[in-house]
Amino acid sequence: MDHAQQIEKQHHFQVYNRFPVTIERGSGAKVWDTNNVEYIDLLAGIAVNNLGHSHPAIVEAIKNQAEKLLHVSNFYYTEAQSEFIERLSYLSGLERVFLCNSGLEAMEGTLKLARKWGHVHGKTGNVISLTNGFHGRSLASITLSKPNYQEGFAPLPSGFIQSPFNDYETLLEVIDDQIIAIAFELIQGNSGVNVADKDFVKKVRALCDEKNILMIIDEVQTGVARTGKFWCYEHYGIKPDIVAAAKALAGGIPIGAIMAKEEVASVLGHGNHGTTFGGNPFACVVGNACLKTIQKENLTEQAAEKGDYMMKLIKDKTAGNDKVLDVRGMGLMIGVELSIPGRPVVERMFEQRVLSNAAGGNVLRIVPPIVISQIEIQQAVDVLITSL
């Protein structure tokens, strides 16, 4: 245990089950520890470093803006923020944007917006989420999420109920005229890369239209080119009423965003919502550099192509292996479901210098930087196979 690890054990809240390594630097899809040991990164900071580590465009944006302006608050306009929200509005097809600092803040903001919209429309009912989801760690967001995140934190906020993922008939049973919103992930990352059925999602969109219910899509992990489309909902041919995003929006710098239709966002007036740090010029400049780079380097298309290649490679190399039950996902958001616990496999991969993650107990969650090379994919998959 090195000095950094000793200090963490002594002073940090012990809420993370960390691996025994101190990361010092990174480049592309690789990182190095303080002993200069090289690792292939299949986690990308949990789907954050889509452009990889130390991408030149991100580094340049950080250096340049650090010498100009970091923060002024939202009492004033900045060019960087206006450019960033214009880009997000264009990319999402939604007219209004609110900037914050994280995925949790984005989801909290969507719930607050939905409540206000409900009051304006005479609705005082529940917000429905789908089972096995994950939407952050505040009291409201764990109420939307899997029960294990809720243990020990009662009493939880009222006004939330859950319905089974991908089960439209059961969803219909809890729908009434007072339901305000249905909020869910299209791919449940933390629960094992569970993919929403297209037919289910289209039916939910039609139901929301019919019953005047808001559709809230949590794109915190799936967004920003990760799945082979800029937003995962593009795969489904639907347009949400509200979208929450964060993680990869600024190449590793914290930022979050809520995007909403004009008729939904307009229920909030001056003083109804706000943030000190959200939308600061530093984060927005880096965000603009990130979004420009994704377009310039065709990273959305790269995610689709590399994801197809990696999934096929894993399927081919695990054919007949009774430890592998399923390989699923979209783009470079891949889940490998196992018949054995995932953590020991991740530990074996770590010993062979590949960083990965277990989700849902028995699923390997693979979300590497989109800039990962074909050779790095091959090397990482070979380590996965030997670790199994």
Cβ-Cβ contacts under 8 Å for 182 (sequence gap 6 or more): 127, 128, 129, 130, 171, 204, 207, 208, 213, 214, 215, 216
43-93: pLDDT as tens digits? 999 999 999 999 999 999 999 999 999 999 999 999 999 999 999 999 999
Secondary structure of residue 348 in the 3-state scheme: helix
User: In this structure, how many other beta carbons lie within 10 angstroms of the beta carbon of residue 168?
Assistant: 16
243-263: pLDDT as tens digits? 999 999 999 999 999 999 999
User: In this structure, how many other beta carbons lie within 10 angstroms of the beta carbon of residue 216?
Assistant: 29
112-128: pLDDT as tens digits? 999 999 999 999 999 99
Cα–Cα separations (whole angstroms), residue 160 to 111, 127, 139 = 10, 5, 11
pLDDT value, residue 208: 98
- Provide mean pLDDT across the span 159-169: 98
Question: Considering Cα of 140, then 141, then 147, then 150, what sign does the dihedral take?
Answer: negative
What is the value of pTM for the model shown? 0.97
The Cα–Cα gap between 384 and 230 comes to: 28
Number of H helices, E strands in the chain: 13, 17
User: In this structure, how many other beta carbons lie within 10 angstroms of the beta carbon of residue 149?
Assistant: 18
User: In this structure, how many other beta carbons lie within 10 angstroms of the beta carbon of residue 82?
Assistant: 12
